[in-house]
Every structure is written in C-alpha cells, then in structure tokens.
C-alpha cells in the first residue's frame, strides 16, 4: 500500500470519530490530527485497530482505533459482557470484579467498564481505589465472580495502559474463553453497539474489607512465625514505585510480624507519570536506585520494590563485602522455593501429593529442588496464565506449594491465580528472618543453594528488529535455527532439542523423537547440551524482538568460589553467543 492510499484510509477512519457518538475532547483531538500537515500521528493512531489478544489490551493512550481510550476499552468490555451473558445464561446473577493501578486514566477506564457491565445486567464489584492485580484475582474467587478485569500496563512506560481479563478461577483467560472473548470483541463494529449508560444499582464499591481478608489469608501461608518474632526489627526498605503496593504490601509485612518498614517518600507519591523513574520496572537497576540509597542511609537488611500493579517484586541484598546487589527473578524464586519445600518437609507435610510450577524459560534448578524432595513439577509456557491453568487442572487433587517465572513473578498461595508481589514480599522477608535466625545472611543462603544443587547463571538477550523487514528477519532467524539446528553450545554437544511449534522433541545423538505435552503450540525453540546448558529462543509477542534465554552451569566448590563460578559462567555465555551466531 502506498503512502497516499494509507493516508486516505486512515483519514476515512478518523472522520468517523468526528461523529456525535464521540465526546468533544476526542473529536477535537482527532480534528487536530486531521488538520496537521504531518500525517505521522494520524497514521499511528488509526492505521490499525488495537487488538484484543489472549492477554487483553495494551497500548499507548490517546484518541484513535490503535490507542487505549474509553472507546477501545468500551468495545473490549462490551465484547466480554456479551460472552459472559452467553456463557452463564440462566444464572440469577453474573458478577465481575474490577481493579486498576495508578496509571493515568486507569480509574476512568475502570468506571467506564463498570458502567458497561452493569448496563448489560452484570453485577460489578468495583474497588474504591487502586489495588494490586493479585488482590483483584483474589476478589474474583472470594466473591464468587464469573470474571474480572484489571486496568494496568504492568511495568510499561507511562504513555501506556492496558486491560487484562480473567475467568472465574481467578486466572487470566485461557482456551477456549480467550478466543471466544476475542471473537465477541471483534464483533463490535460500532460504538453504537456499546452500552455506556450504567445501572448504579448493579455496582458495589469494595475496599478495605477485601484488603483485610486478603492479607489475613496471605498471613496463613507463613511457615516460621517464631523466626519472625525473633527478627521482627529487620530493616526492610520498600518502594511501591508510585503504584498499588503503597498500602497493602506494608500492611502485609506488618501482619506477618515485621515492624520496621522503611519507606522511600519520593516514590510513595501516587502518580501515573512515575516521576522518579524512566520505567517503573523492578527488573531494571535504575528503578531500585532510590531505595538502595535509602538502604545505605539506614543500614537496611533488604530492599524491595514492586511494579505499578504489584504483581512483580524486585529485591536487593548485601553481599559478603557489604555491597548492595540486585537479586534476579530466578534467584528470588530459588530462595523462596528452597525455603518453602524445606519447611514443608520439616513440618511433615510432604507426602508425594504436592506440586509446583515454573515456566520453560525459568531456571532448571527449581526442577532439581523439586526432584530431590519428591515434589512434582510442571513446565509451562511463559506467562502466569499457564501456571494458573495447571492450578485449575489440579484443584482439589493435589496441593500447590508455589509457582514462579524468571521475569520476577512468584506465587506462594493457591487462593490467588496470578503472580503476587504482596505475598512474595512477605515470604522473602520471612526467608531472610529464618536465615538470620540460623546465622546466615540472605546472600549466604543463596550461595548455599548453589552449593547443594550446583551453580547456575541465567542471562537474557534481546535482538531488536523493527518494522515489516524486521519481523521478516526475526522469522528467518527462527526458520534457520529449525532448518540448521545448533550442534554445540560453547563446545558442549547439544543432546536435546525441543520445538514447541511442532510439539516435538529430538535427541540428535540417537535420532529419537517424542511428543511434547502442552495445551497448544508456541513459537519457542529450546536447546539442551551435555554440560547442563539450556538456551530458549522465541520472538516477543508484544515487541519487535527475538529473545534468547541462556542458562549455564559451572562448578562451585565453596561460598568463596562464587565469584570465580560467576566469571566462568559469563565466559561460557559469550561462547554460547558465538555458537548461536548472535
């Protein structure tokens, strides 16, 4: 399509938005874009429709079909309402829970959605103000709702917002409900199809009463109250990074028994502009810099940071040189998992009927811990909805211990069905208290896990290729890895290849092929080598990137050998990049 034709098409789409069905502010914004000689912004806002995918909506806020606004959010809500009314026809009451984070327009989008659901005869439980995503998941189950939504773009930059949809189990929707909802959303062809005029009688405001029940339930997963009592004055620096954790996470830590929670006042300002950070992402060192500065000032024991919707948790701890270091998502998962399983075992609760879940790109050390203790472990695709899917599958049959992913998401309880920074914060504080009670630092606790199960280091690498040509290049890279499989990784022969696009696994040495049991296909390729290396390759579903997840094993003879092992792992990762041609 040439540029003239594209401009003609987006102009025609934009002119529809000048109609009386749209509010004055939107009409003025669209007219401004139409009047501008430079049509770049007009094209970006209208060249396609913001897609309601399996994860819901996510996009830049503004006017237009390719933006997050009350009309694209409205279409999503109307489509979901239509699907709920079809799926639960005949019920006396269909209900949904609605939550939102601190982003600009999140409250507006939540209230618009509440109006639309109620206009469609669906009872709404709307949180009075911002709340963590996992608390909304909890509310769905606790209140017996059939669905729920959260208005959040997680840790994306301030220009973004998003809309995630959940089913009655409290997890994000998976098949068939995700595809069926997408079909209903796509069937909304005009804003005239959207019922914006709400029914106040069907909207119930909820708040602190749910907070109290949620926190009390999380308190019930505590394993070592005596250790906490003895270490209750641990200095915990916590920052919500301008987000939803501001009240609930400190309250939960105090409910566990921790009395010394130290805030970062500048980051307790609730703001969708996230004024103290470039990106409100606890995976990024810059997001924790103010909290670490506060920790140095008060000589704290640990630093914690949650993202705007409080489902991811980043932490920092002191090493043996008293230097503050960041803990990766994999390491946080190791610390909590090792602690939980040992506590379950010590308390005589392991009987072979327990399980845990990890994603396929998360460290294999979690599997080693599970195997050593006779705990079944499931490997699922990236995304916590797949962990929730296993929990639904095993509900009432087996006991859930925990689930985690490398991207800083963890869950220690079964009454929530999404990653939960609230419970993860309380539990990592408990792990710290238990370690200190036994004469260790959290750093030493981590090193001792490596000594027991072997040292592992993980590194993620993303290669960005923008535009149509970039997408084609990424696809060509995936095709090449499949057509010409890598034979060695840093000199270690590849012993197993898993292709989740074909759901086949192959052992190159023998030619043996077997099926992979997964709920659906996914464009992910994995290589395993003789020395324990694992490399996962997949295109990003939301960005113009191809992602490489590398995990390498290296010998580690003692705590003092940690830095040598880490350096050897870095060298091996560089060699693996050569093997992969990146």
**Cross-strand partners of 167:** 147
End-to-end CA distance of the chain: 33
Assess contact for 144 and 95: CB atoms under 8 A: yes
d(CA 501, CA 520): 9
Rg (the chain; Cα; Å):
24
SS3 per residue for 355-414: EEEEECCCCCHHHHHHHHCCCEEEEECCCHHHHHHHHHHHCCCCEEEEEEECCCEEECCC
Upper half-sphere CA count for residue 239 (Cβ side, 13 Å): 29
Q: How many CA atoms lie within 13 A of 157 on its CB side?
A: 4
The β-bridge relationship of strands 203-206 and 123-127 is: parallel
Measured in whole angstroms, the distance separating CA 460 from the mean position of its chain's CA atoms is: 16
The closest of 450, 453, 477 to 539, measured between CA atoms, is 477
Q: How many residues does the chain have?
A: 582
Cβ–Cβ < 8 Å for 555, 565: yes
Tokens coding 580: 């992969």
Torsion of CA 334, 335, 338, 341, to 10 degrees: -110
Write a three-state SS string for 152-205.
CCCCCCCCEEEEEEEECCCCECCCCHHHHHHHHHHCCCCHHHCCCCCCHHHEEE
Q: Which residues are catalytic?
A: 154
Q: How far is CA 199 from CA 105, 120, 139, 488, in A?
A: 21, 9, 21, 63
Which letter does DSSP use for residue 116 in this model? Answer: H
> CB within 8 A of 191, min separation 6: which ones?
21, 22, 71, 74, 75
Sheet of 160-167: strand order equals: 57-60, 160-167, 147-151, 95-100, 123-127, 203-206
**3-state per-residue secondary structure call for 447-514:** HHHHHHHCEEEEEEEEEECCHHHHHHHHHHHHHHHHHCCCCEECCEEEEEEEECCCCEEEECCCCEEE
CB 303 within 8 A of CB 175: no
Strands 123-127 and 57-60: unpaired
């Amino acid at each position: 399509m040439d540029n003239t034709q594209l401009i003609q098409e987006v102009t025609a789409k934009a002119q529809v938005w000048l109609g009386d069905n749209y509010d004055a502010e939107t009409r003025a914004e669209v007219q401004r874009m139409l009047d501008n000689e430079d049509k770049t912004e007009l094209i970006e806002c209208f060249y396609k429709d913001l897609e309601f995918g399996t994860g819901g909506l996510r996009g830049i806020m503004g006017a237009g079909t390719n933006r997050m606004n009350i009309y694209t959010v409205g279409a999503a809500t109307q489509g979901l309402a239509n699907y709920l009314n079809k799926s639960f026809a005949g019920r006396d009451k269909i209900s949904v829970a609605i939550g939102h984070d601190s982003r600009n327009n999140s409250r507006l989008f939540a209230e618009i959605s509440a109006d639309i659901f109620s206009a469609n005869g669906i009872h709404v439980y709307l949180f009075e103000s911002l709340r963590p995503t996992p608390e909304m998941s909890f509310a769905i189950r606790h209140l017996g709702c059939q669905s729920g939504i959260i208005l959040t773009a997680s840790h994306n930059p301030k220009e973004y917002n998003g809309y995630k949809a959940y089913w009655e189990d409290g997890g994000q929707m998976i098949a068939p409900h995700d595809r069926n909802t997408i079909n209903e959303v796509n069937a909304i062809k005009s804003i005239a199809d959207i019922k914006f005029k709400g029914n106040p009688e069907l909207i119930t405001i909820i708040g602190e009463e749910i907070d109290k029940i949620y926190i009390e339930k999380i308190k019930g997963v505590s394993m070592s109250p005596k250790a906490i009592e003895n270490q209750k004055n641990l200095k915990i620096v916590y920052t919500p990074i301008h987000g939803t954790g501001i009240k609930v996470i400190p309250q939960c830590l105090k409910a566990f028994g921790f009395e010394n929670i130290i805030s970062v006042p500048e980051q307790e300002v609730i703001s969708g502009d996230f004024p103290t950070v470039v990106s409100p992402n606890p995976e990024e060192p810059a997001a924790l810099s103010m909290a670490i500065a506060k920790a140095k000032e008060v000589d704290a024991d640990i630093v914690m940071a949650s993202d705007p919707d409080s489902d991811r948790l980043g932490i920092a701890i002191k090493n043996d040189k008293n230097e503050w270091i960041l803990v990766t998502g994999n390491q946080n998962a190791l610390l909590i998992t090792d602690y939980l399983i040992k506590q379950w075992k010590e308390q005589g609760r392991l009987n072979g009927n327990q399980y845990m879940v990890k994603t396929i790109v998360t460290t294999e050390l979690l599997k080693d811990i599970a195997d050593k203790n006779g705990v079944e472990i499931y490997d699922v695709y990236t995304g916590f909805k797949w962990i929730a899917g296993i929990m639904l599958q095993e509900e009432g049959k087996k006991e859930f211990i925990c689930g985690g992913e490398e991207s800083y998401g963890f869950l220690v309880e079964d009454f929530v069905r999404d990653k939960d920074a609230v419970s993860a914060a309380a539990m990592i504080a408990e792990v710290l208290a238990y370690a200190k009670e036994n004469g260790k630092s959290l750093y030493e606790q981590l090193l001792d896990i490596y000594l027991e199960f072997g040292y592992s280091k993980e590194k993620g690498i993303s290669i960005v290729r923008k535009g149509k040509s970039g997408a084609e290049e990424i696809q060509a890279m995936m095709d090449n890895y499949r057509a010409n499989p890598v034979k060695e990784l840093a000199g270690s022969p590849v012993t197993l290849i898993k292709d989740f696009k074909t759901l086949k696994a192959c052992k190159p040495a023998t030619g043996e092929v077997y099926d992979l049991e997964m709920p659906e296909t996914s464009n992910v390729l994995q290589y395993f080598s003789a020395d324990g290396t694992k490399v996962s390759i997949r295109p990003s579903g939301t960005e113009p990137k191809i992602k490489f997840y590398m995990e390498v094993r290296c010998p580690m003879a003692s705590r003092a050998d940690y830095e040598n092992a880490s350096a050897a792992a870095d060298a091996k990762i560089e060699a693996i990049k050569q093997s992969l041609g990146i």
